[in-house]
Amino acid sequence: MGFVCRFTMVAIISSMFVFPAVARADGPAPAASASASLTTDAGASWGQASIPPGAVITMQNWRDYREFMPDGMAAFFAGSYFWKMPPDVQMPVGPTIIHPLPTSYMEATEKYAAQVKIVELPDGGLTLNGYSGGIPFPHPEEPHQGWKVLANLWYRYTPHLTVNTKGVVCFVDSGGSVSCKAGMKIYRQLSFNTDPGVPAGFPGAEDKFFTQFEMVEEPEQERYTAVLAISHTDLTHPEEVYVFIPSLRRYQPLSPSARCSPDLGTDETPDDRRYGFDSNLTQLTVEFNARRKILSLIGYTMPAGRFPENYDMPLGWPQPSWGKWQLRDVYQISVSKLPSLSSGYCFAKRVIYVDAATYAPLWEDLYDKKMQPNRSIALFLHTLNIPGIGPQDSSNSMVYGIWDVQTDHATVFAEPGDDQPFYVNEQTPRDFTDLTRYTTPNGLNLIMR
């Protein structure tokens, strides 16, 4: 999600990057093989009723569709908090459109999934071995069903390289005041790649799984502040986080255990980044709640202009002009810290609604230590045409909002925005492909040089 920085001074920028831009996808690309989707649970009967395309959900009829809403969304409709649905809200419902995952990703699933094994750790946590690409658990069942779903989310398909050349994140307080920041963001998968023509891993980065580089461009007083987060192939290895401080002209490491403090000015914590989830899987206990259907906005037209333009205010909700909502099959799971690690952690539970077709999170409700609602996170996936692959919903492009129902503060990210380029895979200009500059801490020292 936004900046990874936990350092108070830099936190300001950490999470705040949402990178609005216009995707450059040149020409049609071949779609993934439909047969590939047969190796997942997508499309299976979830045993729920449905909503006919053409229905429009409003304040007058929302209770008729309550069973298809995450708890946080229903609470917005019910007016349970300061944050509530605008009186004129309209959610037009269209058909559910499933874009098959890339053929190469599903081929890796079929080749390697049988060798993936869960390993129980001495402290009660779990890890896995034998993972080499694709979906680790294409049919997640007991034992450890919830953890398997979360592992699938962690290793979900996204393009191996995405570059937001400029992004915007905006904050709203209880008085309706809006302020925004902007910056660039480069996400790169360094191991277990399955995109055609891309090596599974890169020399010198064999132990790295995923890197997140983010740098502030505005406001001017925060320009060049940058953060790099590095996740590892060994799930037990803590995420590394480094921040470049312009006034010092050097980087410094941040504590991997600081996962609770919101980035200054935002409503995002370190565990929310990477588009909804960036926590250590080995430190979690996961309960499988249900298979169900929920409403989600996917495959829409990005709103033009900067927030709050073309958003339904004061909540900052999608307007009907964006597109039609879909009814998606999801796994609902509840994620908590292991009992031995829970005492110093800020949240008692994170309920995640995981899309069964992409394993991307679509909605999250977080609860504090007293099990009271704390925040809701909505993730609206923006479908992109990936070169050589075809349309993908889990593209690293989206709009997402975080509403804190205890402080009456909200943060809205848009990726892309400001009508700036959003590059995917081989579309990326060479300047952004430098592994040293954008995936190593020493690369941070090249800023301002």
Domain range list for the chain: 8-26+55-444
What confidence score (pLDDT) does residue 328 get?
Answer: 97
Task: Give pLDDT, residue 19.
Answer: 31
pLDDT of 210 reads: 98
The amino acid occupying position 4 is: V
pTM given for the model = 0.91
pLDDT digits (tens, 9 = 90+) for 317-370: 999 999 999 999 999 999 999 999 998 899 999 999 999 999 999 999 999 999
Q: Are 444 and 211 in contact (CB under 8 A)?
A: no
Query: CA 318, CA 380: separation in Å to the nearest integer?
Result: 9
What integer pLDDT is reported at residue 405 of this predicted model? 97
Q: Mean pLDDT throughout 389-412? A: 97
Question: pLDDT tens, 426-444?
Answer: 999 999 999 999 999 999 9
* Tens-place pLDDT, residues 37-51: 444 666 555 777 899
Which residue from 138, 114, 53, 48 is spatially nearest to 358, judged by alpha carbons? 138
Query: How far apart (Å, rounded) are the C-alpha atoms in residues 169 and 306?
Result: 9
Q: Answer for the pair 14, 4: CB distance below 8 angstroms, yes or no.
A: yes
8-26+55-444, superfamily in CATH? Lipoprotein localisation LolA/LolB/LppX (2.50.20.10)
Please report the beta strands in 283-408, taking only residues with DSSP state E, as ranges in sequence order: 284-297, 311-312, 317-318, 325-337, 347-355, 361-368, 373-381, 384-386, 390-392, 398-404
Quickly list DSSP for 383-401. PEEETTTEEES-SS-EEEE
pLDDT digits (tens, 9 = 90+) for 88-146: 999 999 999 999 999 999 999 999 999 999 999 999 999 999 999 999 999 999 999 99
What percent of the chain lies above the pLDDT cut of 70? 89
**Mean pLDDT within 277-296:** 97
Give the whole-number percent of the chain exceeding pLDDT 90. 83
Cβ 324 vs Cβ 92: under 8 Å: yes
